[in-house]
């Protein structure tokens, strides 16, 4: 079975991808290839950051690999937090601070102007070629938290095609329509057309 590196150490994402690619690809994490580097995510776009991570693994470790990067784009905030989604509240991966900041900045903004979307960019480097896949989901930012499921901004994001927040959904419900679920579906469809050697 062919090895492929997923440029992450996020256990949740890894187990999801390992399940999807079981029997076809052996999905390795950054830790699995001995990479403990603090990969600089300095690009101004999520596509750029996904590219940096994938190229880093290829150049420094020689593996074919893919990486993902996600941003929440809120129209009333000119697309913010976007590429800054992980540390919008000032502390990396502190979801409570991130949500508080968004709710504060949108205080008083009517629902019809609270439009937003999650976008995931995936970059795959394989057999000397680079491929990009995008997944997105349109929705609205709620005025308060709903549900305790998921992570990040899930309790304050309601997809337009559902009648509850991501935070109120089971992982299966969310993955079916989520930005990352859709980007991963495109990646796996592409990989399935390239049968591993
Ligand atoms: P990452 O690029 O996947 O690490 O995502 C960056 C940040 O976006 C995370 O730290 C979260 O705050 C937010 N985020 C990413 N995916 C989701 C999601 O599915 N739901 C809610 N927030 C998310």
> Going by CA atoms, what residue is nearest to atom 14 of ligand 1?
152
Q: Which of 41, 43, 46, 85 to mutate to test the pocket of ligand 1 (most atoms within 8 A of CB)?
A: 85
More confident: 28 or 175:
28
Catalytic residues: 69
Q: Ligand 1: which of 17, 150, 151 to mutate, judged by most atoms within 8 Å of the beta carbon?
A: 151
Among the atoms of ligand 1, which is closest to the Cα of residue 152?
Answer: 22
* Residue 171, pLDDT score: 85
State the average pLDDT over residues 65-75: 97
Residue nearest to atom 10 of ligand 1 (CA): 86
* Top-confidence residue, 135 or 40: 135
> Which pLDDT band, with edges at 50, 70 and 90, does 89 fall under?
very high
Query: pLDDT band for position 195 (50/70/90)?
Result: low
pTM tops 0.85, yes or no: yes
User: Based on the structure, what is the number of domains in the chain?
Assistant: 1
In ligand 1, which atom is closest to the CA atom of 71? 8
CATH at residue 100? 3.90.950.10
Closest by CA to 54, choosing from 69, 65, 45, 46, is: 65
Confidence of residue 57 (pLDDT cuts 50, 70, 90): very high
Q: What is the residue range of 49's domain?
A: 2-196
Locate the DSSP E strands across the chain.
2-6, 25-28, 65-74, 81-82, 115-126, 129-141, 157-159
* Assigned token pair, 167: 């935070």
Tokens matching residue 62: 């020689």
| pLDDT value for 196 | 53
User: What is the pLDDT averaged over residues 97-101?
Assistant: 97
In this structure, the residues whose C-beta lies within 6 A of any atom of ligand 1 are 68-70, 85-86, 93, 98, 150-154, 166, 178, 180
Q: Determine the pLDDT at residue 150.
A: 81
Whether the predicted pLDDT of 11 surpasses 90: no
Q: Closest Cα to atom 11, ligand 1: which residue?
A: 152
Q: Assess whether pLDDT exceeds 90 at residue 19.
A: no
pLDDT of residue 12: 79
pLDDT tens readout for residues 131-179 = 999 999 999 999 999 998 888 999 999 999 999 999 999 988 998 999 9
């Amino acid at each position: 079975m062919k090895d492929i590196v997923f440029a992450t150490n996020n256990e949740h994402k890894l187990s999801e991808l390992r399940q999807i690619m079981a029997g076809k690809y052996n999905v390795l994490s950054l830790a699995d290839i001995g990479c403990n580097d603090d990969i600089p995510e300095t690009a101004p776009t999520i596509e750029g950051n996904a590219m940096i991570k994938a190229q880093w693994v290829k150049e420094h470790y020689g593996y074919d690999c893919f990486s993902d990067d996600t941003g929440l784009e809120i129209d009333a905030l000119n697309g913010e937090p976007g590429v800054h989604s992980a540390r919008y509240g000032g502390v990396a991966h502190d979801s409570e601070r991130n949500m508080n900041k968004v709710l504060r900045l949108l205080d008083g903004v009517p629902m019809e102007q609270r439009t937003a979307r999650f976008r995931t960019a995936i970059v795959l480097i394989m057999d000397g070629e680079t491929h990009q896949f995008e997944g997105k989901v349109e929705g609205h930012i709620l005025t308060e938290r709903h549900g305790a499921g998921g992570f990040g901004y899930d309790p304050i994001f309601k997809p337009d095609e559902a009648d509850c927040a991501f935070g109120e959904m089971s992982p299966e419900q969310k993955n079916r329509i989520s930005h990352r679920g859709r980007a991963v579906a495109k990646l796996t469809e592409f990989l399935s057309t390239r049968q591993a050697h």
